[in-house]
Amino acid sequence: MIEATRELLADRRDVWAVVSEPYHLAEWWPGYQGITPDRRGLAEGARWKIIRGIGPGFLRRPEAEGTIEIVRVLEGYELRWRDFEQGFEAGIQLDNAGVGRTRARAFTEGPWWRLLAEGGRALPRQALARLYDLCQTAVEL
């Protein structure tokens, strides 16, 4: 498992509002540039169509379509999904870190060679940097 942790300058409920909106996944999770959720939205077992980013991977084409399945939703605290084509699970866990702050932990889990070949080792750190920027922008507005 590859993971990263970061403190975000926003309340956990506000961070969850960003994380739990299906269309926002492409804004904070690197490697995805478009999301089309199925009719179930954010629910365990839901399958979402994704459009990959422009960066090539060892086993994938840039801007290729793929499918992810929502594996776990713990309202306000955790979101986990399985990326079928890339062969790993990923997700985020949120916890309170004081007034107006959230401790976020992003992770990828799968075969080490697959994470290495697909660039999965950097995804958690990059996801938290993007989420930090999104939350910081919202706080400043």
Range of the domain at 115: 2-30+73-140
What pLDDT digit, counting tens, does each position of 41-89 carry? 999 999 999 998 766 555 556 678 999 999 999 999 999 999 988 888 9
Q: Are 27 and 134 in contact (CB under 8 A)?
A: yes
Residue 60 forms part of a structural domain: no
H or E element, residue 80: strand 78-83
Whether the pLDDT of residue 8 is over 80: the answer is yes
Residue 135 forms part of a structural domain: yes
Cα Rg, the chain, nearest whole Å:
14
Q: Are strands 88-96 and 78-83 parallel, antiparallel or unpaired?
A: antiparallel
Q: What count of residues does the chain have?
A: 141
Region of residue 114 (phi > 0: left; psi between -120 and 50: alpha; otherwise: beta)? alpha
What pLDDT digit, counting tens, does each position of 114-138 carry? 667 666 678 899 999 999 999 876 5
What pLDDT digit, counting tens, does each position of 73-82 carry? 999 999 999 9
What's the CATH number where 99 sits?
3.30.530.20
Residue 38 forms part of a structural domain: no
Banded pLDDT at 90 (limits 50, 70, 90):
very high
Region 96-121 average pLDDT: 84
Structural domains of the chain, count = 1
